[in-house]
Chain A
Amino acid sequence: MSRLVKPYGDTQDDGKVQLSFTLPVEWSEAADEAARQLASKMGLRDVQVVDGRRIASGFSFFVLYGTTPQGVDVDQIAGSAVQAHAMTMEEIDAFVAERIGRKIRVAGACIGTDAHTVGIDAILNMKGYKGDYGLERYHMFEAFNLGSQVAIEQLVRFTKEHAMDALLASQVVTQKGSDVKNFTALSELLEAEGLRDRVVLICGGPRVTNRLAGELGYDAGFGRGTLPSEVAAFVALTLAERIRTAAR
């Protein structure tokens, strides 16, 4: 089966789209024409510049309508829509209360010499990121933000002394592979101290991928744009799974 779909303006398959953008040119009729030609080059047909105006000296803003000759076969795409079920803070708290029955203790730090706490703060601080609350706000998480430039030894000692359930190690600076070196050192020291299996070990940073995390012996890796609830859900689900397996 194949079903070609085009945008719907007011008639099946008319292919109508709207578009707006700014050009770094002073407004004039020629600027409108430039906007029209640009949209044509994008592949749109019957392009109309319905609004073009000066928004500042040397900048103009345009609203355009056009028709696209393209369509997509939606039946060929449907299969890719499977996504992990995202959980809200309330759902995660309820899940932890029911399945773990106590607060999860999480420590986060920018390890080594890295002072960029933007990532770890987005995940841990109350304020969170993009309207998604940080772990400090969760009732069923006890979050410890150790901040920047935390030595690996210090983080491992903290983990031991305060019985952490999960560790979030963050690295923003990747110069000369310092991030990989630090991540590796942490995982090795945890191993040496016999703590590795007791914690959910997570790495994060703008260059981190889940694949890299796997290669380094971490349980997960989170990259740019990660929401606190994604990390919280992963920690909660992983811990619950470990408890379930251990109980068998």
Chain B
Amino acid sequence: MELKIDRTRVDRCRKLAAAIADPVESFIAAHSTVSVERAVLRLLGVDGVTPEDVPLPNAVVDSISERELGCGAAMHFARALAETGLEPLALARALTEGSVTLGQFATTPAAAARGALRPYVDAALARITAQREERAARLAQLPQLPPPLLYVIVASGNIYEDRTAAVAAAEAGAQVIAVIRSTGQSLLDFVPFGPTTEGFGGTYATQANFAIMRAALDEVSERLGRYVMLTNYASGLCMPEIAVMAAFERLDMLLNDSMYGILFRDINMKRTFVDQHFSRMLNAYSGIIINTGEDNYLTTADAVDQAPAVLASQFINEEFAHRAGLPDRQIGLGDAYEIDPDREDGFLYQVAQAQLAREIFPDAPLKYMPPTKHMTGDVFKGHLIDAMFNLTSVMTGQSIHLCGILTEAIHTPFLGDRALSLENARYIMSTARHFGDEVVLRPGGKIEQRAQAVLSECEALLERVATMGLMKAIEAASFADVSRTPDGGRGFEGVFARASDYYNPFEETLKPATVSP
């Protein structure tokens, strides 16, 4: 199956995306955020909480004055490491207890400080490399079933119940398990600590919860003879920190969108741009596949109207991902099956959009999201809509397939709902496995015309955004009809300009040039 699309338009869209990213990248290079600095501390081994339950990375960064933070938390921390000879975790505790203060070492030479930091930097990178190699070894030994990879969510709020559900789902055919986070976690300016058993509509993303789930999935992977992937959500105010935790605990994918937080969570755009960049550099180095959130354009507005915005966002996400060093094989661009089921030929539109993305991003593991907006509680019709979604996915060669659940809009999935959903997907994808290879799309037909129209409107949108500049364009509500100002939204106070002596000991290694595409 192949669409006839104008390749010069595609090239032009990529050039426009680059033009859009250029000024943002200059901004990113000149700034850091409290979350980036906390991520650096986490990499160095600072983890845990104070007696008042404040995460240690927060406590340490908060102890550095705004003026002094310009050179980066690492330099202050490194000076104290050099002078006290403490390990990072012990130093962080000493700092929060007040027995040591960072200010007292201001005169320690930078070279000595960097030297003291080096072993911990190397240890962090080695830990991430070991997990990346562990994943590769397991994948070689326990090969996955062919894509679309069947992805399901668990969301009980209790990590131990989630574990039961995840193992059951894996046995029923799931290849990727996502633990949905508690609602509102994306707006917390810290990452909760330890195993958690209470959440609102989901389970908190904590490093302990990641480890519990990873261990359970490793066990079931060995039993089933196929590797089951684990994913979670980086989006929010703590993108870089969650990227660190995911790297350490060998998550395989992370939701990581360059604009989702800005548009749909009212997180400050400068904060998001800086955070997404460092978190994606970490994702690249960890071998983690990012999943972008274009589905959100479709759930909040008419799916037919928003199709060009989805494609434009895919181009922008791809561009930012490349700049953070992510190779195509780690860029899971998003799309969703959200067209109104009452619309005649809606299926044709869905095929057009999915196939368009497949051809424009041939090496990207595309992430396809299920119908949610038009799921009503009629579980029988819902199961049918999901079947059409499954068919679209297999015939257009999508890579990561979030299985639709017949009880969407009723409750977070029951264990039995998930099994039915997986059964539906396995049936459709088996019975129609090579259908896409056998079909020739009629030249000039409805599907081809639709794809061409979406591409051309996407180009026009990207042109407008490039002319205006991305930040101004977002302010002018060019995406999802939402207007956000450059200095508005949550987390802006956590963005700061880098001083001339700014130091982040991981940037050097993680810099895109050193990651092979």
- Name A residues whose Cβ lies closer than 8 Å to a Cβ of B: 20-22, 55-59, 61, 115-118, 121, 125-128, 130-131, 133, 136-137, 145, 147-148, 172
Contacts of A137 in B (CB 8 A): 300-301, 481
**Alpha-carbon distance between A133 and B299 when the two chains are bound, in angstroms:** 9
In the complex, the answer to whether A136 meets B482 with C-beta atoms within 8 Å is: yes
> Nearest chain B CB to A24's CB is how many angstroms away?
8
Residue in A22, A126, A127, A131 whose beta carbon sits within 8 Å of that of B414 in the complex: A22
Q: Which residue of chain A lies nearest to B301 when distances are taken between CB atoms in the complex?
A: A137
Residues on B with C-beta less than 8 A from A131 are 299, 372-375, 409
Band of interface residues on B: 20 to 34
13 additional A-B residue pairs with CB within 8 Å, beyond A55-B172, A59-B168: A22-B414, A56-B171, A58-B168, A117-B187, A121-B184, A125-B265, A126-B263, A126-B264, A127-B264, A133-B300, A137-B301, A147-B187, A148-B187
Option from B168, B183, B409, B490 in Cβ contact (under 8 Å) with A55 = B168
Instruction: Look across to chain A and name the residue whose beta carbon is closest to the beta carbon of B188.
Output: A115
Within 8 A of A (CB), among B375-400: 375
Of all A-B residue pairs in the complex, the 3 with the closest CB atoms, nearest first, are: A56-B168, A22-B416, A55-B419
- 29 CB-based A-B contacts, threshold 8 Å: A21-B416, A22-B416, A22-B419, A55-B172, A55-B416, A56-B168, A56-B171, A56-B172, A58-B168, A59-B168, A61-B416, A115-B184, A116-B184, A116-B200, A118-B184, A121-B184, A125-B264, A126-B264, A126-B300, A126-B481, A127-B264, A128-B300, A131-B299, A131-B372, A131-B373, A131-B374, A131-B375, A133-B300, A145-B266
Which residues on A sit within 8 Å (CB–CB) of B171?
55-57
Contact with A along B257-272 (1 / 0, CB 8 A): 0000001111000000
B241 CB to nearest chain A CB (Å): 18
Grouping DSSP codes into helix (H, G, I), strand (E, B) and loop, the B interface class, with mixed when no group exceeds half, is: loop
Q: Which residues of A contact B415 (CB under 8 A)?
A: 22, 55-56, 59
Does B321 belong to the interface (CB within 8 Å)?
no
Q: How far is the CA of A126 from the CA of B188 in the complex (A)?
A: 19
Q: What's the Cα separation between A97 and B414 when bound, in Å?
A: 43
Does B18 have its Cβ within 8 Å of any Cβ on chain A? no
Neighbouring A residues of B373 by C-beta, 8 Å: 131
Beta-carbon nearest neighbor of A62 in chain B: B416
Which B residues lie within 8 Å of A117 (CB)? 184, 187
Instruction: Point out residues on B near A: beta carbons under 8 Å.
Output: 167-169, 171-172, 183-184, 187-188, 200-201, 263-266, 296, 299-301, 372-375, 409, 414-416, 419-420, 480-482, 490
Determine the residue in chain A with the shortest Cβ distance to B264: A127
The distance from the CB of B15 to the nearest CB of chain A, in whole angstroms, is 30
> How far, in Å, is A62 (CB) from chain B's closest CB?
9
Verify A126–B480 contact, CB threshold 8 A.
yes
Instruction: Determine whether the beta carbon of A56 is less than 8 Å from that of B187.
Output: no
Point out the residues of chain B lying under 8 angstroms from A20, CB to CB. Answer: 416
Q: Which residue on chain A has the smallest CB distance to residue B169?
A: A56
Residues of chain A contacted by B420 (CB below 8 angstroms):
61
Which residues of chain A come closer than 8 Å to B481, judged between CB atoms? 126, 137
Question: Which B residues are in CB contact (< 8 Å) with A127?
Answer: 264, 296, 299-300
CB distance from A247 to the nearest CB of B (A): 33
| A121: chain B residues within 8 A (beta carbon) | 183-184, 187, 265
Smallest CB separation, A204 vs chain B (Å): 14
Chain B residue numbers with a CB within 8 Å of A115 are 184, 188
With A and B bound together, what is the CA distance between A57 and B299 in angstroms?
35
Residue in chain B with minimal CB distance to A130: B409
Nearest CB in chain B to that of A21: its residue: B416
- CB neighbours (8 Å) of A145 from chain B are 266
A148 to chain B: closest residue by CB: B187
CB neighbours (8 Å) of A58 from chain B are: 168
List, in ascending order, chain B residues with CB within 8 A of A136's CB: 482
Residues of chain B lying within 8 A (CB to CB) of residue A21: 416
With most chain A CB atoms within 10 A of its CB, the pick from B172, B188, B201, B419 is: B419
Q: How far is the CA of A131 from the CA of B416 in the complex (A)?
A: 24
A126: B residues at CB distance < 8 A: 263-264, 300, 480-482
